[in-house]
Structure 1
Amino acid sequence: GAYVHGGPGSGKTFVMDLFYATLDGEHGVEKRREHFHSFMLETHTQLHKLKDSDKNMDTVGQYASALARKMRVLCLDEFQIVDVADAMIIKRLLENLWAEGVLVVTTSNRHPDELYKNGLNRAQFLPCIAEIKRRCIVHEMASDRDYRLTGRARSEEDQAMWKSGGDEAERERWLVERLQVLAGERSFKPLQIAIGGRLVHVRRAGGGIAHFDFNELCDSALGAADYTALASIFNSIGVGHVPTLSSDRLDLVRRFITFIDVMYEHKVKLLVSADASPEELYRASAGDGSRKNAARDEEFAWDRAASRLAEMQSKEFQE
């Protein structure tokens, strides 16, 4: 098989799709091409069905055999392990698929040695990494350029990553259009991702790009681990309907700061439609002494977040 890795926009998926297009056979019959997380969602569903039918069955082995009967080549885009359950399943699934003679071709943002790094019980996944390196040609698509942006105008508006003020509907249209520019000809569709045994719903996803509303990210039971998983999956994330933040809802402020920090550390392109500019988005409100102290702490934290947001809008960060 082949394991192609590299940064966003380096051409990994394009190369894999070219390879897939040259293969004889019908999609889903002799060959199959899936986004990794869609594939894993279906895998979890099928394994549950097999387990319900026979609790003593080797469900992964049976599922691998069923896949092998339908195809000889499996192409998985954006291969990434972020969950201990996925780590254990994909380890056995790949072993069985290789034993059945299935050729596996994947793309990933990470070298095999970086897969599931710092993950729970990672030692149990290391043999899978060794097998990937033994059985697959590991090739780096080394490029400093994001080819998705090649040939496009580089005006100030085209480079804009933050839209604030004015009509909210207009801002949201801008966000949808900017995300489509990054995605090129790829279409967006809803996606479900298994993280930590839970399903995280992505409003729109396609070509390594995700689109969320602010409340879906920050007014929900998501935290740093979830944001880190999203950052490892998507190279660009759009966030719409970002409200003016205040110390009345410090939980929202803290989650958004954590989200920004994680996106910054993982070099994820962040596009935002918001009520105000980063500098003016957080406003402390009146309260008692303890609340004022908490609000003051968040004000300092927001100043740092706003600085990071300014850097993330720079041409240097985007490229």
Structure 2
Amino acid sequence: MRPTPPRHIFDTDFALDDAQAAAADALSTPGNKGIYLWGPVGRGKTWLLDTYFDNVATSAKKRVHFHSFFRDLHAAYFRRKFSIDAAIDDILSTGSAPASLLCFDEFHVHDIGDARLIMRMLDALFARGVVLVVTSNYAPDELLPNPLFHPTFVPTIEKLKEQLDVVSVDGPVDYRAAGTSGSRFASGTWCLETGSGGHTFAELCCAARSTGDYLQLVETTTTLTITDIPALASADDFAAQRFSNLVDVLYDQDVRTDFHAIVPLHEFAVGCAGLDTDRLMSRLSELKSPSSSHVATATTRC
């Protein structure tokens, strides 16, 4: 049985749009299945997940960002000599009882190697009766979109749809782009001046780096400077994906970041498309001008 909080915990001083209200209804309705919240960027999925997690009456729970969870799963998998069951036991630990509720933020699958481990992970979680509540920009059928590998993942997608109620959170407003955040990340800047110190785009994204490397980078800092950022279309696909992953980590860990680029933010992703690019630009759109509270969509001089 999925832990179920009362509906009133989603009552706020702002009006929920219809999609958010329907998702809140689903999260507060008793049921045996988990919940898969998916939809475009900035629609409030993470807020819904966090509100649910903070108010369910159980201590046997974990809330994780998918990048962090997958890094820990890899580490436990190797530490436990490639036993997925032992690795899952490790990461479900809460200090008292193993987690019976696992909340994933930003669930996605791009790499076939990761997909194989995710298949085994989900099998192990479902075998233990762990309830999943998930957010994603991808509908289940759109996971692992590469047509060469997608058919391999279809059985896992079907299992997800059997175990989780799929709820679309597709309201009309990208609340991040509307500038409603007061986070530390949102206090960062996008500048067209040469930066000093920090790390270059090439250092962080052109070399082979994992999200685990980015998580380690920000473990002991709340601020970061990234310089020499080119137009996204001029970077190769791997560097562009790494930059998207890096911004995911910076956003989730709430690290104030000053981005020094050679193009204005509104030109940065011209010629690029896809859900990861949409999420990237939605998050970057929260950045403020150094001299005003306006969203940094135009050229900003530092």
**TM-score normalised by length of structure 2:** 0.58
Aligned position for 1:77 = 105
Output aligned runs, 1:53-92, within 5 Å. Answer: 59-66=83-90, 67=92, 70-92=98-120
Output aligned runs, 1:126-165, within 5 Å. Answer: 126-148=154-176, 163-164=191-192
Does 1:36 find its partner at 2:66?
yes
- Per the alignment, do residues 91 and 79 of structure 1 end up closer, same or farther by CA in structure 2, a change over 3 Å counting? same
Q: Distance in 2 between matches of 1:228 and 1:119?
A: 18
1:223 CA displacement = 3.0
Letter in 1 for 2:123: E
Aligned position for 1:22 = 55
Q: Distance in 2 between matches of 1:83 and 1:77?
A: 18
Higher relative contact order structure (alpha carbons within 8 Å, sequence separation ≥ 6): 2
Deviations 1:159-201 (A, max 9, x none): x985435x968xx9xxxxxxxxxxxxxxxxxx99xx8978552
1:90 CA displacement = 1.1
- Per the alignment, do residues 143 and 133 of structure 1 end up closer, same or farther by CA in structure 2, a change over 3 Å counting? same
SS of 1:81 mapped into structure 2: coil
SS of 1:225 mapped into structure 2: helix
Does 1:213 find its partner at 2:241?
no
Q: Contact between 1:78 and 1:106, CA under 8 Å: does it hold in 2?
A: yes
1:116 CA displacement = 1.2
Q: Distance in 2 between matches of 1:241 and 1:150?
A: 23
Does 1:241 find its partner at 2:256?
no
- Per the alignment, do residues 103 and 62 of structure 1 end up closer, same or farther by CA in structure 2, a change over 3 Å counting? same
SS of 1:201 mapped into structure 2: helix
- Per the alignment, do residues 132 and 223 of structure 1 end up closer, same or farther by CA in structure 2, a change over 3 Å counting? same
Pairing partner for 2:238 from 200, 225, 237: 225
Q: Contact between 1:214 and 1:240, CA under 8 Å: does it hold in 2?
A: yes
**Structure 1: unaligned runs, 5 residues or longer:** 52-56, 173-190, 245-258, 274-311, 315-319
Q: Contact between 1:204 and 1:212, CA under 8 Å: does it hold in 2?
A: no
Higher CA-based Rg: 1
Q: Distance in 1 between matches of 2:157 and 2:246?
A: 18
Deviations 1:215-257 (A, max 9, x none): 5889xxx73134136547857987623369xxxxxxxxxxxxx
Output aligned runs, 1:1-319, within 5 Å. Answer: 1-26=34-59, 30-51=60-81, 59-66=83-90, 67=92, 70-118=98-146, 121-148=149-176, 163-164=191-192, 200-201=213-214, 213-215=226-228, 223-228=236-241, 230-231=243-244, 240-242=259-261, 260-261=269-270, 266-267=277-278, 268-269=280-281, 270=284, 313=297
Letter in 1 for 2:70: M
SS of 2:80 mapped into structure 1: helix
- Per the alignment, do residues 90 and 211 of structure 1 end up closer, same or farther by CA in structure 2, a change over 3 Å counting? farther
SS of 1:107 mapped into structure 2: strand
**Structure 2: unaligned runs, 5 residues or longer:** 1-33, 199-203, 252-256, 289-295
Q: Contact between 1:228 and 1:262, CA under 8 Å: does it hold in 2?
A: no
Letter in 2 for 1:224: D
SS of 1:10 mapped into structure 2: coil
- CA RMSD, Structure 1 to Structure 2 (Å): 4.5
Q: Distance in 2 between matches of 1:19 and 1:126?
A: 29
Q: Contact between 2:43 and 2:174, CA under 8 Å: does it hold in 1?
A: yes
1:147 CA displacement = 2.5
Q: Distance in 1 between matches of 2:52 and 2:35?
A: 11
Q: Contact between 2:192 and 2:262, CA under 8 Å: does it hold in 1?
A: no
1:83 CA displacement = 2.2
1:15 CA displacement = 0.8
Deviations 1:68-93 (A, max 9, x none): 76111000101111222221111111
- Per the alignment, do residues 151 and 260 of structure 1 end up closer, same or farther by CA in structure 2, a change over 3 Å counting? closer
Q: Distance in 1 between matches of 2:189 and 2:209?
A: 30
Q: Contact between 1:35 and 1:76, CA under 8 Å: does it hold in 2?
A: yes
